[in-house]
């Protein structure tokens, strides 16, 4: 799959323990953005990542790319998974305090933050009690139908990479901490979550073009919930290329910047090339 107008598989890691006879113990997860699709297989019983693949979209929309990947991939097209997870990476979301959340207003919440069309999009929400929030997001109806058709005998769960990241951030907190900033540098954007006294204070996603944009957005975000500024305790995750690109500038501005660790799950020797701060957008779904 390397010709023009087809998806290109740019990365693959596969554990030899992956056994097609045990698919009923595995979850299959898709992470869909405007530029890429990531796929993972996770052994829910042994808490072990067994497969990770990343595909870039070369002029295709997500639906076309998914169909191509499905047609080309014997494992992904299997129908006996324990769970199928669909995780959306988009700016069509809203974080709502639990006490203000109402299911019938999901469209209105998303509309506050971005353009959305109820004729072509449906709305989903995930509640998270430790932070007393509901994360509301849009997902294309054609994607919902595609997954329902392909995995019609299975439970298909919908989530958003933002909700996954927020859950992961909460798992990183200790009781003694006051202010924390968590950042993930994706291929084209930065995801940022800030906490104060153990509660979520801010979550947002920014398109990043330059180091100047990056620093500006981080400082403006911190200012909204804390006065610590450049002394903020920041944990950083991201692709290796983005970390190498932006870390020198970040180190100049922030004194307490550290590279983050992955969740407590098992990765075999096949994943040895991955740094601990990589693919957190994928691994955080298993927190």
**Shared domain check, 251 and 177:** yes
Provide the sign of the torsion angle of the four alpha carbons 124, 92, 33, 71, taken in this order: positive
Domain boundary among 40, 57, 81: 81
Q: How far, in Å, are 37, 211, 238 from residue 69 at the CA level? A: 9, 34, 24
| Domain shared by 156 and 209, yes or no | no
Same domain, 187 and 269: yes
**Element at 48 (helix H, strand E):** strand 48-56
If we measure between CA atoms, which residue out of 86, 85, 91, 119 comes closest to residue 34? 91
**1 inside domain:** no
d(CA 42, CA 231): 37
pLDDT band at 58, cuts 50/70/90?
Answer: confident
DSSP designation for 234:
E
Domain boundary among 115, 136, 165: 165
Mean pLDDT over residues 85-114, rounded? 97
Q: CA-CA distance, 147 to 32, in Å (whole number)?
A: 12
Read off the DSSP letter of residue 279.
T
Whether residues 177 and 279 fall in one domain: yes
Which DSSP state fits 104? Answer: G
Q: Which of 137, 165, 193 is the endpoint of a domain? A: 165
Residues 244 and 209 in one domain: yes
Where residue 191 falls among pLDDT bands split at 50, 70, 90? Answer: very high
Q: What is the pLDDT of residue 3?
A: 43
Q: Assess whether 104 and 75 both reside in one domain.
A: no
Residue 87 in any domain: the answer is: no
The boundaries of the domain holding residue 26 are: 8-81
Higher pLDDT, 131 or 2: 131
Do 181 and 260 sit in the same domain of this protein?
yes
Give first-to-last CA distance, the chain, whole Å.
32
Q: How many structural domains comprise the chain?
A: 3
Token pair listed for 106: 């999901």
Considering the domain architecture, whether residues 46 and 147 belong to the same structural domain is answered as no
User: Would you give the DSSP letter of residue 269?
Assistant: G
Q: Give pTM, 2 decimals.
A: 0.94
Residue 2 lies in a domain: no
User: Are the beta carbons of 166 and 182 closer than 8 angstroms?
Assistant: no
């Amino acid at each position: 799959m390397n010709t023009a107008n087809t998806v290109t598989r740019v990365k693959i890691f596969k554990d030899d323990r992956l056994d097609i006879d045990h698919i009923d113990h595995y979850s299959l997860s898709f992470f869909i953005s405007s530029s890429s699709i990531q796929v993972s297989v996770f052994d829910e019983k042994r808490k072990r990542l067994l497969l990770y693949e990343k595909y870039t979209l070369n002029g295709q929309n997500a639906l076309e790319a998914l169909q191509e990947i499905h047609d080309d991939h014997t494992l992904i097209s299997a129908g006996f998974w324990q769970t199928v997870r669909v995780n959306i990476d988009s700016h069509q979301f809203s974080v709502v305090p639990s006490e203000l959340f109402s299911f019938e207003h999901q469209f209105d919440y998303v509309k506050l933050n971005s353009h959305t069309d109820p004729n072509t999009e449906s709305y989903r929400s995930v509640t998270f009690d430790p932070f007393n929030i509901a994360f509301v997001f849009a997902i294309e109806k054609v994607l919902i139908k595609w997954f329902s058709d392909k995995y019609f005998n299975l439970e298909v769960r919908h989530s958003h990479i933002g909700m996954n990241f927020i859950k992961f951030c909460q798992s990183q907190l200790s009781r003694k901490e006051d202010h924390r900033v968590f950042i993930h540098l994706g291929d084209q954007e930065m995801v940022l979550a800030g906490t104060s006294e153990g509660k979520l204070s801010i979550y947002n996603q920014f398109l990043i073009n330059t180091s100047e944009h990056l620093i500006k957005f981080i400082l403006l975000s911190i200012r909204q919930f804390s006065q610590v500024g450049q002394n903020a305790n920041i944990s950083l995750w991201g692709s290796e290329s983005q970390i190498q690109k932006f870390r020198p500038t970040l180190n100049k501005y922030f004194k307490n910047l550290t590279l983050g660790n992955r969740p407590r799950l098992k990765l075999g020797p096949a994943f040895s090339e991955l740094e601990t701060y990589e693919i957190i957008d994928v691994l955080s779904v298993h927190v």
